[in-house]
Structure formats: structure tokens, C-alpha cells
Structure 1
Amino acid sequence: MPIPATNAGYLLADKVVFLTGGTEGIGFECAQAYQRAGARLCIVSNDRLSIDRARTVLNPEATDFVLADVADSGEIKHAIEHCLRVFGQIDVIHNNAGISSPSKALHDTSEPEWKTLFEVNVGGIYHTTLHGIESLKKTRGTILNTGSLVGEIGQEIHAAYTATKGAVNALTKSMALDYAPLGIRVNAVAPAGVLTPLLRSWSQQQPNPEEVEAYLNQIHALGYCPEGDVIADACLFLISDMARFITGCILPVSGGAELGYKKLLAPQALEAKV
């Protein structure tokens, strides 16, 4: 939906959101939700094709794109500076960019795979904060991190990924304490299963991919695996003034999956891999 000429009264009226990984999956759903709420967007992605696709949907008058890798400090510094040149301020940094591969036990994970996961999923948050904190001080803005339920409860055959998401949870709480005196709120969302390209890639790496769809529905107490729009709605709330007294929160947006988490693999399947 195009943003009207004046967005007064909209939830994110006059806000500028710096959004990483905002061209597909949860991030793209967030981009659309934020734009409908009146925000201007600076979207960072390392995938030129997905940027081109996003351009066809998002309002060009209120959206700018930067091709950059969140794991590269210099590229993110440039992206922050570009956002400030275009929009003049940053009110929200949403650290959504992330990767999930490989789906392996720890001893099967190579050193490059381990390092890459941490450089993207945790290092990306460091880089946007390092280069964006001065702007957030001026606006008394907010930071939102996209975490995962598995960062709290673990997940079989996904050790390195779950380690990064556990780090995101702890980092979110520490950042909330550090930046509260500056009026900057820091929160995270923790989805369980969400039908995104990342999840579909993970599904194909499982020993029994043909059973994964049913599994993904069953793990949620509400009975289905959602699309990314349900996560975007929660993110919109957390970055808006409606959540003005919430900080350090890891918000499960999980359909109750944490209330009775079900294993994907039978124990003998994991033993066979080990």
C-alpha cells in the first residue's frame, strides 16, 4: 500500500528504519509492514536480485537500498552513512539479516562454517550498533534483533546456528542495559518455525525432508507454521511507541511451540549421524 502524502497518525510516522536482510522472508514482510505504518526505509541486502524484486513492491519514494554484507564492518559503515545522507536520521535499527546453514552437529561443522555463522548472525549486530549508535542517541531510538526460539531451547543437528541465536538473546539483554540511560530500547523477537527461504533450505538438509512439513505444523501449539507476516506484526509493535516501556525483551512469536517442543528426528537418526 503506498504511503500517503502525509503520514501523520501512522504508527511509524516520520520514523526512519535501517533494516538488514529486508528483501526476503521475515525481513521483507517487516519492510512492508513498516512502510504501511508510515516509515521510511533504508534496506541492506547482499543479494542484488532480491533487491531488484523488492523494488517492484515497496514505495520508491520512501525506500532506499544498499548492497552490503552485514559481516563487513566497512560496508555497514558506508550503509549507515548513506542512510543518513538520504534520510537525515535513523530512528530504528532492525538487525534481521541472518543465515542458518549448515544444519549439522557441532563436530560436523567446519571452522569456516562456524566463523561465517557468527560473523553474520552476531557480527552483523555489532557492526550496525558500532556505526549507528550515535544516530540512535540523537533520536532516542530503538534496536530490534531477529532471534529464534532455538536460541533458548536448542535444536538437534543445528548446533552452530542455535549458538548464534543464544548469543543474540544474551546480547540483546546486555545492550538493553547499556543503552537504557540513553533512552534507547533494545528488544528481540524469537520465532519458532516461519515459512521463509531459510526454513525451506533447512528442511532440505534434514534426514527426512518429506516429513518436515507435518513436523513444522505440529511443533506449534496453534497447529500451523505461519508466514512471515505474523512476525512482522510483532516487530512493528516492538519498534513503535506502543512498546515504549519495553526493553530487554526476547518476545516469543512462536504459536506456543516452546510449551511442548517436539523433536524432528528419532534418537536413532541422530546416533546414526554421530
Structure 2
Amino acid sequence: MLKGKTVFLTGGTAGIGWECAKQYAQAGAAVAIVSNDAAGLKEAMNFLGTQHAGFLGDVSRAADVANAVKATIERFGNIDVVHNNAGIAGPSVPLHETSEEEWTQLFEVNLKSIFHTTRYALEALKRSKGCIINTSSLTGEIGQERHAAYTATKGAMNALTKSMALDYAPFGIRVNAVAPAGVWTPMLRSWSAQQPDPANIENYLDAIHALGYCPEGDVVADACVFLASEKARFITGTILPVSGGAELGYKR
């Protein structure tokens, strides 16, 4: 589905990002991962092989993103897909308990990183008539208790996705987002441990999905491969729920 394409993927060494990296590669793409996790990046490259590339960097820093984009183009010739997946979730508290430093970091990593990748990769995407995928969250649409700052970043990401879709459609660039509900990742495990009743959180996360279980990240990766492919050639500005029907109403 993606043979001959190059995917520039942020935060691709764990969780949803790692599942996407593996499935992009399996679909035939060359994958360039940007991550601030040196050990995870080394492990990912050992698994994926030398036909792919990893760049150590902080997506909240403009220079790191610019350098990674440049290196990706030098290595692979162009960029066809930018997948903005890097993100952080903490703290799991109401807004008034969020520190200024935590608020700033959330917006720097979850949102400003998209500003950086778009600025530096846009010309390449114009050449390839490529696409942008943002990893959002269902919480950006419906909210979530004890998670105000995080949900604010995802709500902003959804609005940004739609505006970017309009701005870049004249260049043949599609922009979409995926919006999971619960997905078992290291980030979700960390969030679960911060909840008032962590012992019962797994049952809760199974129950909120209409399909009856909280999935692994491969279900999101399947959707991302589709959005990156020509099969999604007439889809743009969409916030695609990959949520097992959780948005239809919590079962309890």
C-alpha cells in the first residue's frame, strides 16, 4: 500500500507510534523516526533494519525537527507522509492543579511540534502531494475528568487539523487525524496508575468501549496506514474515531 513512500514519524519508538512504524514498514514505506528516547530509537532501528532511519531529537525544539527533516530528505529523496504522533499525557489532574511548567510542556510537545514539522516539511509534501496525520484523542471531542490540559491540546489539534486541511488542499496535501479512546500503551499505563481507583481501571477501560475491550495500538496503526495510502485519496479534514464506539456513549 505504501511502497516507495517515505513516512516521517514523530514519537515512533513506543505505544501507538511504534505500532505505526512497524505497519508502515510492512506496507512498504521507508520510515524515518524522530524520538527523544535514545535507547528506544536504537532498539527500533535494530528491529526495522537499515532501510529505515532514526533521528534523536526533541519535537518541541525547532532546530531538532528542521535537522531531522533535512536528514530524511537527504537520505530518502523526499517525504510523502508526516505523522505527528509524539505526545505526552500527564498530569492527570484538574486545570487548577496543573502547574505552569506542565501546561507549557504539554502544548510544546503535543501541539507546537505540529507547527515545527509543518514548517520544515511542507515543501517536501508539496512536491510529493503527500499527507499529514495527527494522533489525536477522543478526549479532545468529549473531554475527560482530571485531564484538562491534555484534552485541551487534543481539542486544539482537532481544530488545527481541519484548518490545515483547508490551507493545504490547493497543493494536493491531505490532513487528517486519528482519535482513539483507550489504547494500551505505556502512556495509558502511566495515566491509569494516577487514577483514584487504579485497581479497577482495566475493567473501566474495557467497559467504555462499545465493542467491549480496550485494544492495543495496532488498531490505530491499521487506520493510519489507510489514511497514508491512495485508498484515502479523497479524505481530508477528518478526525477519524478509532475508538470501538466509545463516542456513542459510555456504557457506565
Identify if the C-alpha distance between structure 1 residues 167 and 49 changes in structure 2 by more than 3 Å, giving closer, same or farther: same
Question: Separation in 2 of the partners of 1:33 and 1:259?
Answer: 28
1:140 and 2:129 matched: yes
Please give the secondary structure, in 1, of the residue aligned with 2:155.
helix
Q: Could you report, residue by residue, the CA deviation over 1:179-210 in whole angstroms, capped at 9, with x for unpaired residues?
A: 00000000000000000000000001111111
Match of 1:190 among 179, 188, 197: 179
Q: Equivalents in 2 of 1:262, 1:199: separation in Å?
A: 20
How far apart in 2 are the matches of 1:186 and 1:175? 6
Aligned residue number for residue 77 of structure 2: 88
Distance in 2 of aligned mates of 1:128 and 1:196: 24
Aligned length: 252
Letter in 2 for 1:81: K
Give the 5 Å matches for 1:142-221: 142-221=131-210
Q: What is the CA–CA distance in structure 1 between the aligned matches of 2:148 and 2:188, rounded to whole Å?
A: 16
The residue number in structure 2 matching 1:108 is: 97
Q: Distance in 2 between matches of 1:242 and 1:162?
A: 30
Distance in 1 separating the partners of 2:90 and 2:45: 27
Structure 2: how far apart are the matches of 1:257 and 1:59?
37
Give unmatched runs, 5+ long, in structure 2: none
> Displacement of 1:55 after TM fit?
2.1
| Other structure's SS at 1:122 match | helix
2:149 aligned counterpart, secondary structure: helix
2:16 is aligned to 26
CA distance in 1, matches of 2:142, 2:99: 23
State the distance in 2 between where 1:28 and 1:261 align. 28
Aligned to 1:3: none
Superimposed CA distance per residue, residues 34-79 of structure 1 (whole angstroms, 9 cap, x where no aligned partner) = 101100011000000111221232122x210000011001110001
Q: 1:8 is matched with which residue?
A: none
Q: Return the alpha-carbon distance in structure 1 between the equivalents of residues 203 and 160 of structure 2.
A: 33
* Structure having the higher Rg: 1
1:224 and 1:169 map into 2 onto residues whose CA distance is 25
Give TM-score, length-normalised by structure 1: 0.91
**Equivalent residue letter for 1:18:** F
Paired residue for 1:14?
A: 4
Aligned AA (1:135) = A
For 1:116, the aligned partner's letter is: Q
AA paired with 2:181?
A
Secondary structure, aligned partner of 1:66: strand
Aligned partner of 2:49 in structure 1 is: 59
Query: Between the two proteins, what is the percent identity of the paired residues?
Result: 64
Equivalent residues of 2:210, 2:251 under 8 A apart: no
Structure 1 unaligned residues grouped into runs of 5+: 1-10, 264-274
Aligned equivalents of 2:64 and 2:221: distance in 1?
Answer: 26
Q: Runs of 4+ in structure 1 displaced over 3 angstroms?
A: none
Q: Distance in 2 between matches of 1:262 and 1:189?
A: 22
Amino acid at match of 2:26: R
For residues 232-243 of structure 1, the aligned pairs below 5 Å read: 232-243=221-232
Q: With structure 2 as the length reference, what TM-score do the two structures score?
A: 0.99
Superposed displacement of residue 262, structure 1: 5.6
